[in-house]
Structures are given as structure tokens and as C-alpha cells.
Amino acid sequence: MPEESLPPSIFHMLERNIGKRILVVLGQTHGLEGELAAVTHEPPGIWLSNAEAVVLRATIAQPIPQVTARVEKSEILVNLNSIQRIEVLHKTR
């Protein structure tokens, strides 16, 4: 009987994006943006380097939240239990 492959866990999906710039949404109006440096299992979290705290704002005309302000941070550990959404940012040409 062939072995069934298990679907990738959140840790596997995050590890594929190490070195890429990501936006981590922590709440409706705030989040963090930085380079994904490492993924930890205990405690479950991600390390961001060159991180910035960002303020997000949405309007009726623009319902997708946009970054409106940034504050520099250096490196930070974000617990996965406090994350609402993770977006991988792609460089624009």
C-alpha cells in the first residue's frame, strides 16, 4: 500500500519563505514587515530581521488595508498565536 503524503504544516510553508520579505498582520490596524530569518517550533514563532512596525489603514473606497506609517525595529520574534495573516511581499520592477 503506498504511503500517503501528509500536507505541509505551517512550519514547512514558512521555512520555504526564509530570506523573503513578509508582512505580518497582528491586528486590524497594525503589523510588522521584515525579512523572515528563522522559524521556531518552541515557542511557535518567526524571527524577523530588518523589521519595521507598520500602521495599516483601510477606507470604504480602498477596503484592502494599506501601510500608512513605519517605525524601525531591528530583530523581533513574533508568536504564531498572535498573527492574523502573513503576506509574502514580492519585489516590483
User: Domain-by-domain residue ranges, the chain?
Assistant: 33-81
Copy the grid coordinates of residue 48. 524577523
Q: How confident is the model at residue 93 (pLDDT cuts 50, 70, 90)?
A: low
For residue 35, what are the β-bridge partners? Answer: 21, 49
Helix/strand/coil percent split, the chain, to 5: 10, 45, 45
Copy the grid coordinates of residue 25. 498582520
Does 80 score more than 80 pLDDT?
yes
Q: How confident is the model at residue 88 (pLDDT cuts 50, 70, 90)?
A: very high
Closest by CA position to 85, among listed 62, 56, 60: 56
pLDDT in tens, 28-72: 999 999 999 999 988 899 999 999 999 999 989 988 888 999 999
pTM of the predicted model as reported, rounded to 2 decimal places: 0.82
